[in-house]
Structure 1
């Protein structure tokens, strides 16, 4: 069975930055589902409406870093940003 990782390596129309955001949101979305938390419940936890959360999960809205961190905190996680040298730098 093919997975997202099998497909995404062939996608060239999405920038690496956008792919990182998509992967991050997919991770959070899957975690929410695995924990049995509804959109309504998570939205309430993080002070958002369910339609707003649905837009983020459906990639209809790009969340700010602040909103992404709120989402993570609602799942008991902390968003962490790291920096590393470019391979060609």
Structure 2
């Protein structure tokens, strides 16, 4: 796949889905920065470790509710900036 093809396919993703994907990436990075394992986070938020892994691999676009749950496990809040 060429870079131009990748850029075209990414630009076809709806804006709200891009936000969810970007937010998941930020939360994943924060989990790693805080040195919290997938297993530990899963226990904190009442999920299985495999579910956390699937979220982080973006097997599907996470919902805002799921992102908030993940964030809460890291003692974070998702803040939305008005546009």
Give the TM-score taking structure 2 as reference length: 0.78
CA shift at 1:33, angstroms? 0.3
- The two structures, once aligned, show a CA RMSD in angstroms of 2.0
Give the structure with the higher percent helix.
2
The residue correspondences of 1:1-89 to structure 2 (distance < 5 A) are 11-84=10-83
Q: Distance in 2 between matches of 1:16 and 1:65?
A: 14
> Unaligned 5+ residue runs, structure 2?
1-5
CA distance 1:50–1:35, change in 2 (3 Å): same
CA shift at 1:31, angstroms? 0.3
The count of corresponding residues between Structure 1 and Structure 2 is: 77
Give the TM-score taking structure 1 as reference length: 0.73
CA distance 1:11–1:61, change in 2 (3 Å): closer
Are the aligned partners of 2:21 and 2:62 in contact in 1 as well (CA < 8 Å)? no
Q: Which region of structure 1 is more displaced relative to structure 2, 10-19 or 27-36? A: 10-19
Q: Secondary structure at the match of 2:24?
A: helix
